[in-house]
Amino acid sequence: MKFGGTSVADLNKMRNVVSKVSTEVRNGNNVIIVVSAMAGTTDNLINKIAEISSLYDAREYDSIVSSGENVSAGLLALLLQNEGINARSWQGWQIPVLTTDDHSNSRIKKINIQNLSEKFSSGMQVAVVAGFQGISNHLRITTLGRGGSDTTAVALAAAFQAKRCDIYTDVDGVFTTDPKITPNAQKLGKISYEEMLELASLGAKVLQTRSVELAMNYKVTLRVLNSFVEGSGTLVCDEESIMEKRIVSGITFSKDEAKLTLIGIKDKPGTAGLIFDCLSKENINVDMIIQNISEDGLTDVTFSCPTNQVEIAREALQRGKSGNTFNYSRLVEDKKVAKLSIVGIGMRSHSGVAQTMFKTLGQENINIKVISTSEIKISVLIDRKYLELAVQALHDAFELEKAPD
């Protein structure tokens, strides 16, 4: 069971968690709970670090920002003990959760389950684990990046071959799209790992991408539930477990996108590689890419990236041009775009999905700037001001209000 920051935001909300955990204990289950920091705690700690310096020691950063989860785990363990439940808190290094040395964005290498297993064998009923953290080979505390508590929970479920991993959030499950934009958005009863991975990577914030990837690799069944409202939630599982495969399962979007176009590039082998190698060295998260047809030996290359990386990308490209690594006549930036995506495993066996998407957007006079596809996804860049209209129109066009729960 994993509980996010809103689920453990204060002692009253933690008591609600105790109620859910108590039910599992009464049913005879040993329970591992993974907790995030109390809502707002991590951001507050990051702000304090920023007040000291923008150039900080990443090792100390991890020591500081991981402390919020320790507080949540300790408080929840005390509340469980008050209910007569044999519970104790665990930090990442105590388990241990062994990670790489990449501070602030480490990856889990191995989880040693011996310590937890021995405690369960000797009577412990509930282990309350501080999520988001681990320990490196150099015995330094590490953190797993934003959403890392989801990854901790799935990794522990895989290590213990748990029946399932329940992820408690402040939403009822996974919806066909954002209900704040489309009121008739429907909760999905089941969704495949592949679909959830696409949705998470494209902007859906219900689950963290790495946690879904881990669940898919180790066949861990996930269930997304609301901490505050009773319900069945959404199961994230193998495609084979879904009897009725929808053509389109969901629509997601990202508003923080920018479109950059390099005009007047020499059209010769290796140029694109040099350009994107330059961007890669600055860790620019390039997404959609288009190269136009060559004319008079020159071509244009368009790509998208997060808006907060535009300045870094511009400077990197300018350095590449100044150093004669490659050349272009000018760079055109558009920071007023959004990425809109439809996702569904049914696309594999149905034709006409792209035609329906493009026709629907055309009927609303929404121009498509860039297109990107995969086996189960179609993404487009459009003007940000038309995003809500586009989401609503596509939701109606694919009749997602009829999605089975």
pLDDT value of position 338: 96
Please name the residue that has the structure tokens 């602030």.
104
On the question of pLDDT at 264 being above 80, the answer is yes
CATH, domain 2-241, list 3.90.1300.10, 3.20.20.70, 3.40.1160.10, 3.40.50.620: 3.40.1160.10
Share of the chain above pLDDT 70, in %: 99
Which two tokens mark 262?
């390099």
Confidence of residue 391 (pLDDT cuts 50, 70, 90): very high
d(CA 10, CA 67): 16
pLDDT value of position 327: 93
What is the arithmetic mean of pLDDT over 378-392? 96
pLDDT value of position 297: 87
What is the arithmetic mean of pLDDT over 126-151? 95
d(CA 26, CA 42): 33
Q: Omega of the bond prior to 404 within 30 degrees of 0, cis?
A: no
What is the arithmetic mean of pLDDT over 154-176? 94
98 Cβ contact list (under 8 Å, min separation 6): 108, 109, 110, 111, 112, 134, 135, 136, 137
Identify the top-confidence range among 69-78, 275-284, 314-323: 69-78
Q: Which CATH number is 259-335 given? A: 3.30.70.260
pLDDT value of position 205: 80
**Where along the chain do the CATH 3.30.2130.10 domains lie?**
338-400
Q: Which of 66-80, 108-122, 234-248, 352-366 has the lowest mean pLDDT?
A: 234-248
**Where along the chain do the CATH 3.30.70.260 domains lie?**
259-335
169 Cβ contact list (under 8 Å, min separation 6): 4, 6, 7, 206, 224, 225, 226, 227
What is the arithmetic mean of pLDDT over 147-159? 95
What is the arithmetic mean of pLDDT over 364-390? 95
On the question of pLDDT at 244 being above 70, the answer is no
Confidence of residue 97 (pLDDT cuts 50, 70, 90): very high
Share of the chain above pLDDT 90, in %: 83
On the question of pLDDT at 405 being above 70, the answer is no
On the question of pLDDT at 53 being above 90, the answer is no
On the question of pLDDT at 260 being above 80, the answer is yes
**Where along the chain do the CATH 3.40.1160.10 domains lie?**
2-241
Mean pLDDT of the chain: 93
On the question of pLDDT at 147 being above 90, the answer is no
On the question of pLDDT at 106 being above 90, the answer is yes
pLDDT value of position 270: 93
pLDDT value of position 243: 67
What is the arithmetic mean of pLDDT over 349-369? 95
On the question of pLDDT at 393 being above 70, the answer is yes
* Helix axes of 58-65 and 41-52: crossing angle, nearest 10 degrees: 150
pLDDT value of position 131: 96
pLDDT value of position 54: 79
pLDDT value of position 350: 87
What is the arithmetic mean of pLDDT over 15-40? 95
On the question of pLDDT at 375 being above 70, the answer is yes
Nearest alpha carbon to residue 92 among 143, 45, 46: 143
pTM of the model: 0.84
d(CA 75, CA 33): 13
Q: What are phi and psi of 145, to 5 degrees?
A: 90, 170
**Angle of CA points 225, 213, 4, to nearest 5°:** 35
Q: Which CATH number is 338-400 given? A: 3.30.2130.10
Confidence of residue 307 (pLDDT cuts 50, 70, 90): very high
pLDDT value of position 208: 86
